[in-house]
Amino acid sequence: MKLFKNMFVFFLLFNFGLAFSQNLDKPYVVLVSLDGFRWDYSKYFTTPNLNEISKIGVHAKSMKPSYPTKTFPNHYSIVTGLYPDHHGIINNSFYDPLLKKSFSLSGDEKRDAQFYGGNPIWNVAEKQGIKTASFFWPGSDTGKKSPSIFRKYDDTVSYTERINTVIEWLNLPEKERPHLITLYFDEPDHTGHTFGPLSVENAKMVVKMDSIIGVLVHKLDVLPIGNKINLIVVSDHGMANISDSKKVAVLDYLKPNWLGYHQVINPIMSIEAKEGCRDSIAQALKKVPHIKFWATKNLPKRFHFGNNSRDLDFVIEAEKNYSLVTSKKQKVFGGTHGFDNRNKDMHAIFYAKGPDFRIGKRIGTFQNVSVYPLIATILGLNIEKVDGSLQEVEPLLRKKESFYNK
């Protein structure tokens, strides 16, 4: 009996030790977003730190955002591997006719889990025994679909505090330490909106954000686990110039009694038609200059958009560099995003380095939903079928034999 107890204790200790050692060997992924960092900023501005990542790691020519090319839809597409129509965050603001509720970034509903579909990568990792954390990633602070560690968004928190907190997380004891971390920075998006993508002001901000990446890289590299960390730097979309001479007041062409829910989110808008008014709206929109519009059921298939009830009845998009406004009196300046994702000004960045990435590898443009299967592969996660494709990004990875526990 004593021998049996000793064997049982040995068995438990052996398996605990094996699981612990395997967890120690698991790689780390730190996914960083620079909101609004256009794919070609490095051609116009000085970005030595991103250039260095490209040299010692990998770099895509550009990363194609999902449609519409707005912030929340694309951040959530990156972490779910799904197009906005499939995960439900179809714009920064929208109306859900089934819930009879509106979603907006200005209210608490942006943390309401019932708006968010899909299975975020942190949920998948947690269920498979990998602890995760997030510092402000859109969709990470709903509570019901959140990482083990997360922060509610507060744009007053300094970039230094964000970086230092991530380093603190990576210095936690192994049992408490996250192996997947998502980190969000709100620039250069704000500056690009205010002054334009190629402005002097945005040039300074791009240089600043590149230096922020440099600080983060240094602090990650000097950690005891630094050689196990895979750093991925992305953005959600790019930025295009707009001006006050190029604007369209769409609502001037439409009668209020034709319309249900509608909201201009420059340069796009969705319209809910009142019963019997679809034909009137369509005929009126044909007369509006400098726009494209579709009944949602007729949207181009390449958008992967128009099959969600939140898309409503019509989608309107301004021509390149034009703006949709609610009134001709509304002033337009700086830059914006939301245009067709074929528009290269809308394209984002992808840089990465670490033990699971090749050195000096460059690939062409790929769709942002493919970041999800890329991270899942590095972490050894089993995932459901998503819109993203590992095949698009697999050339960035070292051979499987070099992966941890694979």
The question of whether 142 is a catalytic residue gets the answer no
Show the tokens assigned to 61: 């020519």
What are the strands, taking DSSP E only, across 41-157? 58-60, 63-64, 94-96, 101-103, 132-135, 149-151
Which spans in 240-293 are helix H?
Answer: 278-285
Give the helix/strand (H/E) hosting 231: strand 229-234
Q: Is 44 helix (H, G, I), strand (E, B) or coil?
A: helix
Q: Is 292 helix (H, G, I), strand (E, B) or coil?
A: strand
Catalytic residue among 46, 47, 69, 71: 71
Computed from CA positions of residues 209, 336, 296, 348, in that sequence, does the dihedral angle turn out positive or negative?
Answer: negative
Q: Is 361 helix (H, G, I), strand (E, B) or coil?
A: strand
In one-letter notation, the amino acid at residue 330 is Q
- In angstroms, the Cα distances linking 290 to 278, 287, 323, 368 are 21, 10, 9, 28
Is residue 26 within 8 Å of residue 405, measured between CB atoms? yes
In one-letter notation, the amino acid at residue 115 is F
Residue with tokens 């494209």: 292
- In angstroms, the Cα distances linking 175 to 21, 345, 380 are 11, 43, 18
Catalytic residues: 71
